């Protein structure tokens, strides 16, 4: 992780930050896990945040404000997701969860340096650092997630015998500023099943990976 200039790419109404060499905390959720009216309200807030950031004349202040608002937006989305009582929970199927876990591990040391993940019934948390290619360029988070979600959606639908949309188009990512924040995020990720009441110890959840321990 290293301090870099503020940069932004814009995909499906969600603001994304990708400094080169940064570490990311990403949440991918199943399609239909958040009611549409709630989803639209969250997207409207994200658009407002983006306009506020762009209105600032000072690039340094843009960077600072983008970081603060991005963290707050991530918390809003994740809180809604964790409290969802309706919607699909296809990741409870052990066949699907194992396939997703295998896909996450398969990309280790080629596409990303994987630090932690947790596969919950209706969403997946991933902490990773993209790895630069032979040309020295880093793949975008968008391209990484498109590949991961495309592959896992196809195979999950085959396992489930369905033809529905599997992942929600939007994923939300937060870039990690420093080692202290990384430690807090990894602890949150691995303890997600404990917080949800699924297990008593994070080590007992079969769909959790932590490279170095929380």
| Domain assignment present for 75 | no
| Domain assignment present for 61 | no
In this structure, of 11-20, 56-65, 123-132, the range with the lowest mean pLDDT score is 11-20
For residue 92, the domain's CATH number is 3.30.70.1290
Range of the domain at 143: 8-33+87-210
Pseudo-torsion of CA 181, 118, 143, 98, nearest 10°? Answer: 160
3-state secondary structure of 201: coil
Pseudo-torsion of CA 202, 199, 188, 42, nearest 10°? Answer: 150
What per-residue confidence (pLDDT) applies to 18?
67
| Domain assignment present for 54 | no
User: Where does the pLDDT of residue 5 fall: very low under 50, low under 70, confident under 90, or very high at 90 and above?
Assistant: very low
What per-residue confidence (pLDDT) applies to 56?
79
Q: Note if the pTM is more than 0.85.
A: no
Instruction: Say if CB 82 and CB 196 are below 8 A apart.
Output: yes
Instruction: Please list, residue by residue across 5-19, b when 16 or more beta carbons sit within 10 angstroms of its beta carbon and e when fewer do.
Output: ebeeeeeeebbbbbb
| Domain assignment present for 129 | yes
Q: Are strands 172-176 and 14-17 parallel, antiparallel or unpaired?
A: unpaired
**Which comes out higher in pLDDT, residue 69 or 201?**
201
CA separation for the pair 117, 122 (Å, rounded): 14
| Domain assignment present for 44 | no
| Domain assignment present for 94 | yes
**Which comes out higher in pLDDT, residue 39 or 155?**
155
| Domain assignment present for 189 | yes
pLDDT digits (tens, 9 = 90+) for 14-59: 445 567 788 999 999 999 887 777 778 877 887 787 788 788 788 7
- The number of domains in the chain is 1
| Domain assignment present for 151 | yes
Phi, psi of 161 (to 5 degrees): 65, 45
């Amino acid at each position: 992780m290293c301090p870099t200039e503020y940069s932004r790419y814009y995909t499906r109404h969600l603001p994304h930050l990708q400094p080169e060499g940064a570490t990311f905390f990403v949440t991918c959720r199943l399609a239909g896990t958040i009611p549409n009216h709630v989803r639209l309200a969250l997207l409207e807030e994200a658009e407002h945040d983006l306009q506020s950031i762009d209105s600032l004349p000072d690039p340094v202040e843009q960077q600072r404000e983008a970081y603060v608002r991005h963290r707050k937006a991530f918390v809003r989305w994740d809180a809604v997701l964790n409290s969802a009582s309706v919607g699909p929970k296809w990741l409870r199927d052990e066949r699907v969860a194992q396939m997703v876990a295998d896909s996450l591990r398969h990309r280790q040391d080629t596409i990303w340096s994987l630090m932690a993940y947790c596969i919950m019934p209706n969403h997946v948390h991933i902490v990773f650092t993209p790895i630069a290619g032979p040309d020295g360029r880093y793949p975008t988070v968008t391209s990484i997630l498109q590949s991961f979600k495309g592959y896992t959606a196809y195979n999950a639908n085959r396992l489930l015998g369905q033809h529905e949309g599997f992942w929600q188009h939007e994923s939300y990512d937060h870039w990690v500023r420093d080692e202290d924040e990384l430690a807090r995020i990894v602890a949150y990720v691995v303890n997600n099943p404990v917080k949800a009441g699924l297990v008593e110890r994070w080590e007992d959840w079969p769909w959790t990976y932590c490279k170095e321990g929380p």
